[in-house]
C-alpha cells in the first residue's frame, strides 16, 4: 500500500488523515512474459500434451528455450501458457505439495484429478482476490488404466475433455484434434496429431516458434521429450506470392 503524504504535511508533526492520499491496491493486471498455446489429447493408453518452447515478451520472442511442460508426479504432468512467472509459482506450489506427500510416506500420491482440482482451487482463490495467476494450464495423467486430461484457466474454471487446448490452439488446434480423435487412439498416433496442430500453429500464430516439446503420461510413467523442430512447408502459393494487402482473406 502506497501512502503518499503531501509535502506540506511532512514538515508538520501531525498528519491530517483527510489530507492523506492512498493509491488503490494494484495487482498484476496484464501479463508480461507469456507462453503460448498448450495442446493435449487423451489416448486409450495415455495422454499427450505438447507446448512450444517460447516465452514472448509482448511481440518479442524473448526466451526461446523454455520448457512449459512439467512432470508433477510419476503419473501426472502439467503444461502451462500465460504469464511465465505465475507458472513458475504454480510449479513451486506443486513441488511443495509433492514433498509433503513424500514426507508422509503413506504410499498416497496426488492423482492427476487431485492436482487438477488443487490448481483449480488455487487459481479460483487468487482470482477472487483480484490477483490472478495469469495462466491457462493443461493437466494430464494416467493412473489405474485411466487417462485424465483437464484444463484450468486464470479464472479458476476447470473442465475435463478428450481434447483440450489453450490460446490459439483453441481456434486452430481443436478442430484438428476433434477430427483426429478416436476412443482407441494410441499415444504414438496422438503425438502425430499434436505435431500436426503445432505445424499449423507455427504457420499462423504470430507468437509461436518452430520448437516444440511433447510430453506423454502412460503406464510407463511421464516422459517429456527434448525440444525438436517440425518439418514445415513454405512453398504454398499463398505464402510465396501473398495476395494484395487490401484483400484480408488469407485463409
Partner 1 sequence: MASIGTGYDLSATTFSPDGRVFQVEYAQKAADNSGLTLGVCCKDGVVLAVEKILLSKMLLKESGRRVHLIDQHAILAVAGMGPDGRQLATRARQECEQYRNIFRAPMPGHLLAERIAGYVHVHSLYWHVRPFGCTVMIGALEEKQGPALYMIDPSGTFYRYYGCAAGKGKQGAKTGLEKLDFRQLSCDDALLELAKLINEAHDESKDKPYEMEMIWIKSDTGKASLVPPNLIETVRQRAEQIAREEEMAD
Binding site for partner 1 (CB under 8 A): 92, 95-96, 99-100, 102-105
Name the catalytic one among 18, 28, 143, 216. 28
With contact defined as beta carbons under 8 Å apart, do 34 and 206 qualify?
no
* CA 64 vs CA 45, 101, 172, 210: distances in Å: 31, 34, 22, 10
* Eight-state DSSP code of residue 65: S
**Cβ of residue 105: shortest distance to partner 1, in angstroms?**
5
> Grid cell 493509491 — which residue?
23
Least separation in angstroms between residue 84's CB and partner 1 is: 16
Identity of the residue, 102 or 234, whose beta carbon is nearer to partner 1 in the bound complex: 102
Of 126 and 136, nearer to partner 1 (C-beta) is 126
Q: Least distance in Å: CB of 180 to partner 1? A: 39
C-alpha cell at 219: 503406464
186 has catalytic annotation = no
To partner 1, the closest distance from the beta carbon of 103 in angstroms equals 5
Residue 28: how many other CB atoms lie within 10 Å:
13
Cell of 230: 517440425
32 in Cβ contact with 82 (< 8 Å): no
Q: How many helices (H) and strands (E) does the chain have?
A: 7, 15
Query: Can you tell me whether residue 51 is helix, strand or coil?
Result: strand
**CB-nearer residue toward partner 1: 102 or 236:** 102
Nearer to partner 1, 100 or 204 (CB): 100
- Give the residue numbers annotated as catalytic, written as ranges: 28
Amino acid at each position: 500500500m502506497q501512502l503518499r503524504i503531501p509535502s506540506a504535511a511532512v514538515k508538520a508533526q501531525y498528519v491530517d488523515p483527510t489530507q492523506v492520499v492512498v493509491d488503490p491496491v494494484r495487482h498484476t493486471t496484464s501479463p508480461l512474459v507469456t507462453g503460448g498455446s498448450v495442446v493435449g489429447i487423451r489416448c486409450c493408453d495415455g495422454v499427450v500434451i505438447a507446448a512450444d518452447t517460447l516465452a514472448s515478451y509482448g511481440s518479442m520472442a524473448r526466451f526461446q528455450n523454455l520448457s512449459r511442460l512439467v512432470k508433477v508426479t510419476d503419473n501426472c504432468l502439467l503444461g502451462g501458457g500465460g504469464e511465465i512467472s505465475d507458472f513458475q509459482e504454480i510449479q513451486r506450489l506443486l513441488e511443495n505439495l509433492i514433498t509433503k506427500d513424500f514426507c508422509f510416506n503413506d504410499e498416497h500420491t496426488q492423482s492427476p484429478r487431485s492436482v487438477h482440482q488443487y490448481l483449480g482451487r488455487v487459481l479460483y482463490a487468487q482470482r477472487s482476490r483480484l490477483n490472478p495467476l495469469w495462466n491457462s494450464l493443461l493437466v494430464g495423467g494416467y493412473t489405474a488404466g485411466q487417462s485424465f486430461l483437464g484444463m484450468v484457466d486464470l479464472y479458476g474454471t476447470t473442465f475435463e475433455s478428450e481434447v483440450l487446448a489453450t490460446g490459439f490452439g483453441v481456434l486452430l488446434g481443436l478442430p484438428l484434434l476433434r477430427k483426429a480423435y478416436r476412443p482407441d487412439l494410441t499415444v504414438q498416433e496422438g503425438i502425430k496429431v499434436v505435431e500436426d496442430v503445432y505445424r499449423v500453429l507455427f504457420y499462423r500464430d504470430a507468437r509461436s516458434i518452430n520448437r516444440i516439446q511433447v510430453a506423454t503420461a502412460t503406464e510407463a510413467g511421464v516422459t517429456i521429450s527434448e525440444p525438436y523442430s517440425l518439418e514445415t512447408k513454405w512453398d504454398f502459393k499463398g505464402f510465396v506470392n501473398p495476395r494484395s494487402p487490401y484483400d484480408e482473406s488469407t485463409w
